[in-house]
Amino acid sequence: MHMHMPLRAGWGMLVAAAAMAYAGGLEVWRLQALAAADRQDVAPLQPNAPAPLSIFWQAPAYFLIGLSEVFTSIGQLEFFYDQARPLWRWQWGGADARALPQEPLELRSG
């Protein structure tokens, strides 16, 4: 099954919204669990305090964010490639921001 560019990008944005909703619900759950723990060593509702939850509850949110990146970046790349002139299509592969270096380049004089 072939998905068209706008549909693929739309699915990516929908999956990203679902990941943010899950992460927000998880944070509410973490704060409630921290308040319900009533531990003497940690003040309740302190944002940086360790909660009695496993860190692995965050794994689904990271998976969904990665999946949304796949959908949106492929849709964006297909859109750029489709809209480019035939002689310029080879340049659009490098136009994506993720293809640029992540660290600034050092300029050396001399």
Residues 13 and 70: beta-carbon distance below 8 Å: no
Cα 11 from Cα 63, distance rounded (Å): 15
| Cα 74 from chain centre | 14
Residues 43 and 85: beta-carbon distance below 8 Å: no
Q: What is the pLDDT of residues 29-40, one digit of tens each?
A: 888 887 776 654
Of the chain, the percentage scoring pLDDT greater than 90 comes to 26
Q: Tokens representing 36? A: 């319900």
Q: What is the pLDDT of residues 49-94, one digit of tens each?
A: 666 778 899 999 999 999 999 988 888 878 777 877 777 666 655 5
- Quote the DSSP letter at residue 93: T
